[in-house]
Amino acid sequence: MASVGSAAGIPPGTGLLERERIIAQPGFNRWLVPPAALAIHLCIGMAYGFSVFWIPLSRSIGISKSNACPADMSLFSELFASNCDWKISSLGWMYTLFFVLLGSAAAVWGGWLERAGPRKAGLVSALCWCGGLLISAVGVYTHQLWMMWLGSGVIGGIGLGLGYISPVSTLIKWFPDRRGMATGMAIMGFGGGAMIGSPLADILMNYFRTPTSVGVWQTFTAMAVIYFVFMVGGAFGYRLPPPNWRPDGWTPPPENTKSMITKHQVHLKDAHKTPQFWLVWAVLCLNVSAGIGVIGMASPMLQEIFAGSLLGQPNVKFGQLNADQLKTVAAIAAGFTGLLSLFNIGGRFFWASLWDKIGRKNTYFTFFALGIALYAAAPTLAHINNKALFVLAFGVILSMYGGGFATVPAYLADLFGTQFVGAIHGRLLTAWSTAGIVGPVVVNYIREFQINAGVPRAQVYDFTMYILAGMLVVGFICNMMIKPVDSKWYMSEADVAALQAKTTAAAAAQGGSYGIGKGGLDGAAVVAWLIVGVPILWGVWITFDKALVLFR
């Protein structure tokens, strides 16, 4: 092994998964790295689409209809019950586990990721996410809900966290000239995972369904194998640039005391001690809280506000719809949800790319100012029964929700440098975990309060929209307060050089790797992009086709 490593310009004793092993050699095309990141993010993004399994799992024993557990059975007892079907509300706890574990794992192991490198982190992510699916498959087969929670919820959630942040630092270092666009490409994949995974899961469940099985455990097994192949391919596709590498012909913008882009580095142990970290934390939390609250209630919101208008009968209220009309309205609302997912995905790339053009703070100012206006206008659009503008308004809102995720890694790199950006981003994702609780609670509880107070269903969301607009006002103020990090937190050049010593030595052993240019779409890059691009296009087509029902 040592002789092979030495011949390839790799320091002797360097393992296949070690950080020093993946320093790019001269001639490497940096455009191979985003598809590797997408291969991982498109797989773990299926966490958003797990609801496709809820109804089949809620009748995995009854098959044609649910064999309900006793009404007085506790959730703890349901975890171990094997003779009755699970409630959808009990299955839904997996969503909470997904995103709480995602944020927690990213925060706890972000520092390890920076030391170990993206290849090792990507492989561990694949083992956790796909291994979790296999454990869940056993849980479905033996009908043990606790195995579902443990498998996909806990172990899979850890895989989500590691997989989500694995490419962030690497992409920012490869694209210093296009930081926003680079991270937007990868994080777009997480938003698009359900767009591919949900129809794939539906196809597989229909294939495996039998008179005695709903086909879920077989689908989990098949998807675990498919995802493992893609995720391992992505992990081994990662490469790191040499320290301080720059694309040919690119010069960093000049730094001054007012610049939001620093050339210095802030250590992971100090980042959370700065006010900038907590202001960005608040900015992300407030932006996500508003968006995620809408995502969770998108379908009932459209149905209750427009009701008969969706069927060409504007005078028919939601409570007056018959069973067949309710089914039709629900199908139309599903199209609305699908359309929002497209805006969510597209916004991750659009806003991240625009970020590179108009600047860091300006992009978030746009998020908040435009969001405030759209949330405040939503009740009016509903009352005048303008369905098209209402849908467009929430499409733009969801694009900014996705854009917030895609742009925040570059924001952190601008403020704290690139050395620890992946780990700092991991800690910041606790804002997502918090938003996942705050947003739905605000929307759901205000809705219930309004309904109990006798407010017509078409108006129960009015006050909610104004509350969400108020949250964005606070976010606007937090973003306005963000200034460059005080120089007292900067690492010395000697400390940075010491951290980069192994990587620098590995790069030097390969001839420096400084012959890498800007890259382009050569043959290898075209193949890599086709591998991830074809599934994305298939998912977009399926989603767009379902969304068309909204306008028929």
For the packed helices 33-44 and 179-208, what is the interaxial angle rounded to 10 degrees?
Answer: 40
Q: pLDDT tens digits for 143-186?
A: 999 999 999 999 999 999 999 999 988 998 898 888 888 888 87
The pLDDT-based confidence of 506 (bands split at 50, 70, 90) is low
Domains of the chain: 25-64+84-241 (1.20.1250.20), 259-491+508-520 (1.20.1250.20)
Instruction: Identify the pLDDT of residue 74.
Output: 86
Residue 242 has pLDDT above 70, yes or no: yes
For 302, phi then psi, to 5°, come to: -65, -40
Instruction: Identify the pLDDT of residue 1.
Output: 33
The listed range with the strongest mean pLDDT (93-97, 251-255, 406-410, 445-449) is 406-410
Q: pLDDT tens digits for 412-438?
A: 988 999 889 989 999 999 998 888 778
420 and 268 Cβ atoms separated by less than 8 Å? yes
Q: Distance between CA 186 and CA 535 in Å, rounded?
A: 15
Residue 547 has pLDDT above 80, yes or no: no
Residue 534 has pLDDT above 90, yes or no: yes
Quick one: what percent of the chain has pLDDT higher than 70? 91
Q: Convert 148-160 to b/e letters by CB count within 10 Å (16 or more is b).
A: bbbbbbbbbbbbb
The pLDDT-based confidence of 386 (bands split at 50, 70, 90) is confident
Q: pLDDT tens digits for 320-333?
A: 888 788 878 777 77
Q: How far is CA 12 from CA 5, 6, 18, 26, 502, in A?
A: 6, 6, 12, 20, 12
Q: Distance between CA 158 and CA 313 in Å, rounded?
A: 48
Residue 25 has pLDDT above 90, yes or no: no
Instruction: Identify the pLDDT of residue 550.
Output: 67
Which amino acid is residue 108, in one-letter code? V
Instruction: Identify the pLDDT of residue 210.
Output: 92
Of 363 and 124, the one with more pLDDT:
124
Residue 11 has pLDDT above 60, yes or no: no
Stretch 243-255: mean pLDDT: 76
Instruction: Identify the pLDDT of residue 168.
Output: 85
Q: pLDDT tens digits for 106-125?
A: 999 998 998 899 999 999 99
Instruction: Identify the pLDDT of residue 257.
Output: 52
440 and 293 Cβ atoms separated by less than 8 Å? yes
Of 509 and 346, the one with more pLDDT:
346
542 and 195 Cβ atoms separated by less than 8 Å? yes
Q: How far is CA 227 from CA 59, 105, 138, 233, 327, in A?
A: 26, 20, 17, 10, 34
- Which residues 6+ apart lie within 8 Å of 486 measured at CB? 274
459 and 311 Cβ atoms separated by less than 8 Å? no
The pLDDT-based confidence of 513 (bands split at 50, 70, 90) is very low
Quick one: what percent of the chain has pLDDT higher than 90? 36
Instruction: Identify the pLDDT of residue 26.
Output: 78
214 and 55 Cβ atoms separated by less than 8 Å? no
Instruction: Identify the pLDDT of residue 322.
Output: 83
Stretch 184-198: mean pLDDT: 85
**H helix intervals, 143-260:** 145-148, 156-165, 168-174, 179-208, 216-237
**pTM to 2 decimal places:** 0.83
**What does pLDDT average to over the chain?**
85
The number of angstroms, rounded, from the C-alpha of 387 to the middle of its chain's C-alpha atoms is 28
Instruction: Identify the pLDDT of residue 8.
Output: 46
Rg (CA), the chain: 24
Q: Distance between CA 175 and CA 170 in Å, rounded?
A: 9
Instruction: Identify the pLDDT of residue 4.
Output: 35
Q: Distance between CA 112 and CA 102 in Å, rounded?
A: 15
The pLDDT-based confidence of 502 (bands split at 50, 70, 90) is low
Of 356 and 288, the one with more pLDDT:
288
